[in-house]
Amino acid sequence: MSRTISAFAAEEEKRVLGLKPVLAPVHGSYGDHPHQVYDAWPAEDPGAPLVVLLHGGYWRYDRMHLTPFAAYLARQGFDVLLPGFRRSGGAGGYPETFDDVTRIVDTLPQGRPYVLAGHCSGGHLALWCAARGLLPPGSRWHTRDLPTAVLALAPITDLTATRRDGLSDDAALLLLGGTSLFASRMPSVDPLTLLREAGTTGVPTVLLHGAVDEEVPLTQYADYASVHRDLTTVVLPGTGHYTLIEPGAPGARAVAGTLEEMSAAFGARRPVDDDRKAPLT
C-alpha cells in the first residue's frame, strides 16, 4: 500500500533515520544466533534507572537507527540496554521474534526494576510483553514476571488495523507468516486483543504519541487507550513519529522526562536534571 506524507514528515524521517549510528561501549549476547545480541550504555551511578529499548522498523529492520537515541538517554543519566532480535523477513517473525523478546526481558534486566520502552513496532512488542500475564497458562510466552513499567512510543497497538491499513508494505502479514496464518496467530501476539477482556495488564504503562504522527495512525493510540482503563497517555502537539527518538529534539526530551518520572515511581535514583520536563497526563 502506497502512502502519501507531508513534506514535514518526509524531512523528519530523512533527518532522523539519516543520523550516524553510535557505537556502544559494551556489547553482549543472550543467545547463539547473530541477531541475539545487545548494546549497552552502562551508567556510572549504580542506582541509575535502567531502560531496555525495543527498536522499531516494523519488525524487519535492525536496531542501528536507535543507537543515537540510546546514547542520548545514556547522557541523561540512564543505564541503557538496546537489544537486537530475530526479525521478520529473515530468521524471525512468528514465533522467533516473540521468543527472542521474551528471552530479553526475562534475562537481561537481571532482576533489576526497569522501564521497557519501545518505539513503533518496538512499542507493540513492549505492550505485548506487559500483556503476557493475560495469555493462557499453557502459552509458550505466558508469565507472571512482567516488566516493572512500560513506555510505548508511537506504538503499533492493533495488528488487525495494521494489516487493514497495509502499513509498511503489509508488515503485519509478514510478521505472522502470511494471510493463511494471520487469524490463528494474531490473538496471542496482539496487545489490543489481549487487553479487551481484562482492561488492564497490571503493569504501569504510559502511551506517548506525537499529535502529527503520519507513520502510525492516531486511531491506534485512541483505540488502545479506550480499552486500557488505567493507562497514562501523553500526546505531544506539533510532534511527528521520528522526533520522539531524535537526540535533543523536544519530543526526545519529553520521552527522557517521562522515563525519569516512571523510574522515580519505583525508587530508581533520578538522573541529573536538565530541561526534561514532561509531566504525565
Number of domains in the chain: 1
130 in a structural domain:
yes
Percentage of the chain beyond pLDDT 70 is 94
Residue 89 resides in a domain: yes
The stretch 200-224 carries a mean pLDDT of 96
Please check whether residue 171 lies inside any domain of the structure: yes
Residue 270 lies in a domain: no
pLDDT digits (tens, 9 = 90+) for 147-184: 999 999 999 999 999 999 999 999 999 999 999 999 99
Question: Contact at 8 Å (CB) between 117 and 54?
Answer: yes
Examine residue 175 and state whether it is found in any structural domain, yes or no. yes
Using the predicted structure, report yes or no on whether residue 267 has a pLDDT greater than 90. no
pTM of the entire predicted model: 0.95
What distance in Å separates the CA atoms of residue 130 and residue 134, rounded to the nearest whole number?
A: 9
Domain limits for position 175: 7-265
Say yes or no to pLDDT of 89 above 90: yes
Residue 172: give its domain's CATH number: 3.40.50.1820
pLDDT of 91: 95
Q: Does residue 85 contact residue 100 with C-beta atoms inside 8 Å?
A: yes
Classify residue 228: in a domain, yes or no: yes
Predicted local confidence at residue 205, as pLDDT = 98
Q: Is residue 211 part of a domain?
A: yes
- Amino acid, res. 184: S
**Mean pLDDT, rounded, for 58-74:** 98
pLDDT score at 46: 87
Distance between CA atoms of residues 178 and 170, nearest Å: 9
Query: Residue 174 falls within a domain, yes or no?
Result: yes
